[in-house]
Amino acid sequence: MFSLAGKVAIITGAASGIGRASALLFAEAGAKILACDRSPDVAATVAAIEAAGGEAKALEMDAGSEPDVIGAVAMAVETFGRLDVVYANAGITGGLPDFLDTTADTFAEVLRVNLIGPFLAIKHAAPALMKSGGGSIICTASVAGLRYGAGPVAYSASKAGVINLVQHACQSLVGTGIRVNGICPGLTETGMTQPLFDHARAAGKGDRIGQLNPLQRGGQPDEIAAMALFLASPASSYVNGQAIAVDGGLSTSHPVAPSTQLAARAALDKFKDD
């Protein structure tokens, strides 16, 4: 049920992190991949797929540019003959400014890539997916889009928009056989978050990464890619319009200080002893 044999997938942000992990996993499951990114490093993703016996093409493009998105869809169809899956994964943080220090230009650029990008992917891929008899569109949202506390304002607002976009697109594409879903990663070790991970480890605090989620660790790109594969595959044939958190349990509660968690654990231990 997790096979993508005979399918064609476009993945944006495929040069690194979640995008690269997803491209490799989709190819392993049998899909032909159009790996897209504005970084030339996307060629390395394609090289890795080909080295493993898969089939892929690289495209340097801007996920928030309408002409580039139109071109990516056309290239996938022209190169591989069809389109079945689109993973609109590309995103940026816009840095980590405080609310009042965030400029309108920064806010607009984050929305352009993180929210307009997935909108364009859905809008322009949907007709090609219909010609294939339906398919799956996946968008990377974030736990930061669920509530305050997991990212800066522009990033968080853009990801909240992605969650609503997924719901809206799901309803707008009724009867087409196209499913639209989102993934809400928690803190995941990617190029975007690498400075945070590196700083914590350099300070001898690597064990504190992800301490606010019940698994008490950060995530890895392949763990998010596994959810993307599920949503791309027939295994999720009845999943539509959802924004699924992959976050170690962080979004089940508002974050609490470690001392509070320790107190709760002590109370649980006492209960067990009694």
Domain residue limits at 144:
8-273
Catalytic residue among 87, 148, 155, 238: 155
**Residue 155 a catalytic site member:** yes
Would residue 79 count as lying in a domain? Answer: yes
**Residues of the chain under the 70 pLDDT cut:** 189, 191-203, 205-210, 254-268, 270-274
Q: Please count the CA atoms within 13 angstroms of the CA of 259 that sit on its side-chain side.
A: 0
Would residue 2 count as lying in a domain? Answer: no
Q: List pLDDT tens digits, range 13-60.
A: 999 999 999 999 999 999 999 999 999 999 999 999 999 999 999 999
Would residue 226 count as lying in a domain? Answer: yes
What is the reported pLDDT for 163? 98
C-alpha distances in Å from residue 22, one per residue of 160, 176, 223, 247: 22, 25, 9, 17
What strands lie across the sheet with 178-185, from one edge to the other?
56-60, 32-37, 8-12, 85-88, 135-140, 178-185, 243-246
Would residue 3 count as lying in a domain? Answer: no
Would residue 1 count as lying in a domain? Answer: no
What is the reported pLDDT for 209? 64
What is the reported pLDDT for 92? 94
Record the tokens describing residue 191, joined without a space: 């190029």
What is the reported pLDDT for 78? 98
What is the reported pLDDT for 253? 83
Integer-rounded Cα radius of gyration of the chain: 19
**Is the overall model pTM greater than 0.75, yes or no?**
yes
Would residue 186 count as lying in a domain? Answer: yes
What is the reported pLDDT for 207? 67
Would residue 106 count as lying in a domain? Answer: yes
What is the reported pLDDT for 12? 98
- Residue 259 dihedral angles phi and psi, to the nearest 5°: -60, -35
- What is the separation of C-alpha 33 from the centre of its chain, rounded to a whole number of angstroms? 16
3-state helix, strand, coil in the chain (%, to 5): 50, 15, 35
Q: What CATH code is carried by the domain that includes residue 224?
A: 3.40.50.720
What is the reported pLDDT for 218? 80
Dist. CA 209–CA 203, nearest whole Å: 12
**Structural domains counted in the chain:** 1
